[in-house]
Amino acid sequence: MDVTEKILVTGAGGGVGRSVARRLAERGETVRAFVKSEEQARVARADGAAEVVIGDIRSDADVAGAVPGVTRVFHVCPTAVVREVSIAEGLVAAARANDVEHIVFNSVIHPEIKELPHHQEKLRVEGVLHSSDVPTTVLRPSHFMQNYLDFWDLMLAGTLPYPSSPTSVMGVVDAEDIGEVGAMITASPEGHADQTYDLSTQELARHEMATIWSGVLGHTVSAVRLPPSAVKRPLQGVGAAAAIVAKSLASTRTHALSNVVRGLAASSNTRGVRNWPEESQDCYVAMMTYYDTVGLPAGDMEVLPKLLGRPATSYREFAAREAARRGVATR
């Protein structure tokens, strides 16, 4: 490939976007990373981005300004952004004006679920992209295994909390597998135009995830339900906090105390959700409420291994890898 060609990665400061940008750079591609802050820009440069654009993904002008000179785009929106259609329309207009060859869009598994406004919005974005004359590939990843790492300190103390039922079955996938597939298709989109891919690895209830973490960390980890409403009203999570303290002390005894204090403090504003617009908070609560009662089934689990050319990363492999990265001896 001509080294002057560039690939734009939007949302390059987030988990999937950052993974895609890093893997593209490792492949020798010239990456232009679109991020929201100078802090994210520093990380993107360290990950290998040749160019960085700092802007607001919701601004047509900022998005349009990031497109000139690129040949392909990997597009992913931050979780806190609810209204994505106008962003996609602006991206398509800029892509047409600049002869962009291909767009890869990171959507979500089962975007047709009516009870999940975030999913429905991504379905509308898929429609915008497929109705354009820009060749497009849609990736539909399951619930990310990484989502539970927000509660790392509490896992070290012996609990795995989340704002949904521990018995709800969730289809999960490793975001790094998504990054690998996203980079592969964006770098070489031949044969992927107008394709939509389910990206799922396995289905697990959080009790089963906790059992896996117990085996990896070498102490009992118990799944704890946080009320979905506690995302906006922390006092409604007081009962769950008491359960976390009790289970942690039973699992790791006095060693739990410092981890519990840090973990509870961090969990009160996981992902900075308290700073999100109210509409985004409401959307997040609706999503967790649905997961609490229904869960989220996986998509076609045969697709991801075929794209990767290897088995997808299992939850146990993911847990062992992430523990090792954090300097924890694993079992």
CATH number, domain of 96, equals 3.40.50.720
Closest C-alpha among 70, 100, 95 to residue 7: 70
Q: Is residue 184 part of a domain?
A: no
Confidence class for position 235, pLDDT limits 50, 70, 90 = very low
pLDDT at residue number 217: 95
d(CA 10, CA 63): 9
CA–CA dist 107, 122 (Å, integer)? 6
How far is the C-alpha of 258 from the C-alpha of 244, rounded, in Å? 13
Helix (H, G, I), strand (E, B) or coil at 301: coil
Q: Global pTM?
A: 0.90
Residue 190 forms part of a structural domain: no
Cα angle: 285, vertex 105, 180; to 5 degrees: 100
In a domain, 237, yes or no: yes
Position 245 scores a pLDDT of 66
Q: What confidence tens digit (pLDDT) does each residue in 300-331 have?
A: 999 999 999 999 999 999 999 999 999 987 76
Kindly report, residue by residue over 184-225, the tens digit of the pLDDT. 999 999 999 999 999 999 999 999 999 999 999 999 999 999
**Does one domain contain both 323 and 227?**
yes
Residue 238 has pLDDT above 60, yes or no: no
Report the pLDDT averaged over residues 57-73. 96
Structure letter (DSSP) for residue 277: -
3 or 132, which is more confident: 132
Q: Do 103 and 114 belong together in one domain?
A: yes
Query: Are residues 244 and 229 part of one domain?
Result: yes
**The pair of three-digit structure tokens given for residue 89, joined into one six-digit string:** 């329309």
User: In this prediction, what percent of the chain has a pLDDT beyond 90?
Assistant: 75
| Residue 29, number of CB atoms within 10 A of its CB | 22
Length of the chain, in residues:
331
* Per-residue pLDDT at 260: 62
DSSP designation for 37:
S
> Could you read off the pLDDT of 270-305 as tens digits, one per residue?
666 767 788 888 888 899 999 999 999 999 999 999
In a domain, 193, yes or no: no
Domain count, the chain: 2
Question: For residues 269 and 258, what is the distance between their CA atoms, to the nearest angstrom?
Answer: 18
The dihedral region occupied by 125, where left means phi > 0, alpha psi between -120 and 50, and beta the remainder, is alpha
Nearest Cα to 138, choosing from 147, 129, 146?
Answer: 129
Binned at pLDDT 50, 70 and 90, residue 112 comes out as: very high
Please check whether residue 73 is in contact with residue 5, taking contact to mean a CB–CB distance below 8 angstroms.
no
Q: Look up residue 233 and give its DSSP letter.
A: -
Whether 237 has a pLDDT exceeding 60, the answer reads: no
Backbone angles phi, psi at 196, to 5 degrees: -125, 125
Domain that holds residue 242: 142-174+200-297+312-331
